[in-house]
Homo-oligomer: A and B are copies of this chain.
Amino acid sequence: MSSDQSPARPVGRGAKVRAAVHAAALAELVDVGYAALTVESVAQRAGVHKTTVYRRWKDRESLLTDALAEHMAADIPVPDTGAIGGDLRALARSLVQAFTSPTGQAVLAAMFTGAAHLPEIAAARRHVFGDRLARAEPVVLRAVERGELPAGTDAAELLRTLAAPIYLRLLMTGDPVDESVADRAAHVALAAARAGALSAPAGP
């Protein structure tokens, strides 16, 4: 906080300003939405001067895409309950929680309406989705080792199957998402994997 203003700690200051401006940008996104957000209002909220923002981001769009990408890249905790059913439910519930919070809703709206036309946002969407999936793959690999799932189960495909009905509701139908949607998604993905519907294709 006040140490930010101390000239004795120049090293941490850049990262600290960056984090404060990101947080302020997300908070503004929640309050006023993508279209109405200005660099001035973000700077004021972060307690920095406008020129401090412009020194780091060339314009409103690059500030926003940066804040959105960073938010989307934040870790989803990878559960290890000892059983694949519990792990998949925990993962699906984390995803639901991430997108039903006020910040999650504002981020989703910005990424799929306000900023949807920006190539950086499309790239962030794809990249981050891939990253999140890869981090959760141990959940599936451990289940295969424990004999809960068939050998050869495609971990990435199982995790896409888990996430798909949640994103369908968020992006397409607008139906509410809650824990029962998460638990159903886990049940579906598990049943499909056990039946061998999510095995990797045979090698060449």
Contact = CB atoms under 8 A, between A and B. Distances in A.
- Copies of this chain in its oligomeric complex: 2
Interface in A161-204: 161, 163-165, 167-168, 171-174, 180, 184, 187-188, 190-192, 194-198, 201
Given A195-B194, A198-B188, A117 B113 contact: yes
Interface SS, A side: helix
Interface residues of A, number: 36
A157 B190 CA distance: 16
Contacts of A160: 165, 168, 173
Nearest to A187: B197
A152 interface: no
A114 interface: yes
B129 A172 contact: yes
Contacts of A163: 168
A174 to B, nearest CB: 5
20 contacts: A113-B117, A126-B173, A126-B174, A129-B172, A157-B184, A160-B168, A160-B173, A161-B165, A164-B165, A168-B168, A171-B171, A184-B197, A188-B192, A188-B198, A191-B191, A191-B192, A191-B194, A191-B195, A191-B196, A192-B192
Interface of A: 35, 112-114, 116-117, 122, 125-126, 129-130, 157, 160-161, 163-165, 167-168, 171-174, 180, 184, 187-188, 190-192, 194-198, 201
